[in-house]
Copies of this chain bind each other. A is one copy, B any other.
Amino acid sequence: MSEPVNIKRLAQELNISIATVSKALNDSYEISLKTKNRVWTLAKQLNYTPNPAASNLRSHKTKTIAVVIPCVANNFFSLAIKGIEEIARRYDYHVLIYQTHENSEMEVNFTNSLINGRVDGILTSISSSLYNIEYYSNLVKKVPLVFFDRVYEDLDAVKVTTDDFEIAYQATEHLIECGCKRISFLYGLEHLPAGKARLAGYREALKAHQLVDEDALIVKYHESEQVNAFNIKALMKNQKPDGVLSSIEEFVLPCYDVCRDLNIHIPNDVKLVSFSNLSTARLLNPSLTTVTQPAFEIGMEAAGSLFKILHKKDQGMDQNVVLKSTLIKRESTGF
């Protein structure tokens, strides 16, 4: 049993006080370079690492941030985490991950477990299953918080989002340019600004080109895969769209399946464009054009904003950061 390597041990071995060691380790201006060097040398030699719990307790700084998101196994969120981690590492911060699985209750439970000083700040992309803005408007007062992608618009907090309206408009126009006259919209995230903006962009583009804009052309996302498939089938049969804009990735698979069943060919009979963040996009079926959000950059931006707040450098910072998505047109290369 070797002695534990803590600040006390260092002090004993060097015959100086604990306070001096602490200050030396923190590179305080009060300590002579000579003493600092002695401390640093021994610390390295004994492989000293400070006890985080002790320093948190005393200093109220955890060097930790939390990321609360619906799910990590998702092309968008895993890339966003990558961006967040990248920034956190630069600041020597640790990153906690929580998955809500779109469950508002879990979301609240997780978040509540974080406001007791476990973390210095939180990055979150809210669940779409319940609108509880009261909860969040309270929360932002208690802990530094940055929202990304899935946000509440009216909240007094930093929000990093993408140009959903504009890109949905562009995507719709792309379909129109491809000759589509009757374009359907597969509607997801309807309780969130992102979803609403995508719908609005679609509608606006239809309007600008004097195309039909009927509720019957819109299919809302449902938790049940069967229901989605059923609704898409009904859409295809009854409405016979010649173009489809899917506002979320989850609609793509049932879309292909239904079309195959009905002997409808994508993209000859129906042209399909979907929001998607597949990192291996080129591996996709080459007939799918996608709208891709800059997930990695969103993560970096959100984390960067949080650190600005943590370092009190957020004076006059813009609360609404909007990054640009990309419309990736894929031609069927036929391999």
Contacts and interface: CB of A to CB of B under 8 A. Distances in A.
A256 interface: yes
Contacts of A249: 280
A56 interface: yes
A259 interface: yes
A141 B288 CA distance: 51
B118 A52 contact: yes
Contacts of A75: 73
A17 interface: no
A74 B85 contact: no
A81 B256 CA distance: 29
Nearest to A250: B280
Contacts of A78: 72-74, 77-78
A118 B55 CA distance: 11
Contacts of A256: 282-283, 335
A265 B335 CA distance: 7
Contact of A285 (B50, B53, B278, B283): B283
Q: How large is the interface on A (under 10, 10 to 19, 20 to 34, 35 or more residues)?
A: 35 or more
B53 A81 contact: no
A226 interface: no
Contacts of A283: 252-253, 256, 278, 284-285, 288
A96 to B, nearest CB: 5
Contacts of A280: 249, 252-253, 278
A333 B260 contact: yes
A284 B282 contact: no
Contact of A286 (B72, B94, B265, B285): B285
A75 B51 CA distance: 35
Interface of A: 49-54, 56-57, 62, 64, 71-75, 77-79, 81-82, 85, 94-99, 112-113, 115-118, 249, 252-253, 256, 259-260, 265-266, 278-280, 282-288, 296, 333, 335
A292 to B, nearest CB: 14
Contacts of A72: 72, 78, 81-82, 85
Given A335-B259, A335-B266, A82 B54 contact: no
Contacts of A266: 335
Given A52-B118, A74-B78, A265-B335, A96 B99 contact: no
Nearest to A62: B53
Given A73-B78, A82-B71, A113 B49 contact: yes
Contact of A73 (B49, B52, B82, B118): B82
Contact of A57 (B53, B117, B285, B286): B53
Given A53-B62, A73-B79, A285-B286, 15 more contacts: A49-B112, A52-B116, A52-B117, A56-B56, A57-B57, A72-B81, A72-B82, A73-B296, A74-B78, A78-B78, A249-B280, A256-B335, A260-B335, A284-B285, A287-B335
Contacts of A51: 57, 116-117
